[in-house]
Amino acid sequence: MNTSADGRAAISVTRRLEFDAGHRIPDHRSQCRNLHGHRYVLEITLSGEVLDAPGESDNGMVMDFSEIKSIAKAHIVDVWDHAFLVFQGDTAVRGFLETLPDHKTVVLDCIPTAENLARIVFRTLAPHYQGHYGQALRLTRVRLFETPNCWADCHG
Ligand SMILES: Nc1nc2c(c(=O)[nH]1)N=C([C@H](O)[C@H](O)COP(=O)(O)OP(=O)(O)OP(=O)(O)O)CN2
Ligand SMILES: [Zn+2]
């Protein structure tokens, strides 16, 4: 069993969020080169110490699930939900999306595979969770489901 410096068991908590987004994998040899979308499922796992602060709202918690959610929502879910996630080098699709007035498009510096998206989520969110509770709290895993049967993990 993993333990912290003071001998207590290390605890992790996971918050699941969902969003819809479109994408395509331009070089893919099969179906995924077509414009299509997913109901993505995002799992945010944080590890840290359980707060021992009687009377505080988050007493007994690593971090309040609602706060885990609000940080992920503000920086990823609200930005990507009902957007089209497009690789900056996918000029054909970028050009098309630019013709659509007020279209919600997110341009990425990498191809929007599950692996790359999980990495972007990790890099985006880690400083926000770290900054929230300091060194005692760490983002340890981002798991992104592209379909119920396909997912990618990014570990800190
Ligand atoms: N390693 C990866 N492989 C694939 C990715 C990816 O992000 N990383 N993405 C895709 C496609 O975008 C697609 O969404 C998933 O394709 P597929 O495996 O065909 O998923 P289905 O839901 O169609 O699976 P079924 O089992 O046929 O229902 C492809 N590969
Ligand atoms: Zn896909």
CATH at 87 = 3.30.479.10
Q: What pTM value is reported for the model?
A: 0.93
CA atoms of 23 and 35, how far apart (whole Å): 6
Q: What is the ipTM of this complex?
A: 0.91
Which strand (E) or helix (H) includes residue 148? none
Q: What is the CA radius of gyration of the chain?
A: 18
Active site (annotated) includes residue 56: no
Does residue 35 have its Cβ closer than 6 Å to ligand 1?
no
Give the number of domains in the chain.
1
Going from the Cα of 61 to the center of ligand 1, the distance in angstroms, rounded, reads: 36
Which residues are CB-contacts of 45 (< 8 A; sequence separation ≥ 6)?
Answer: 12, 13, 14, 139, 140, 141, 142, 143
Query: Is 3 a member of any domain?
Result: no
pLDDT of residue 135: 60
Closest-CA residue to 74 (of 30, 132, 148): 132
Residue 141's domain comprises 11-155
pLDDT in tens, the chain (156 residues): 555 555 667 799 999 999 999 999 999 999 999 999 999 999 999 999 898 889 999 899 999 999 999 999 999 999 999 999 999 999 999 999 999 999 999 999 999 999 999 999 999 999 999 877 666 789 999 999 999 999 999 997
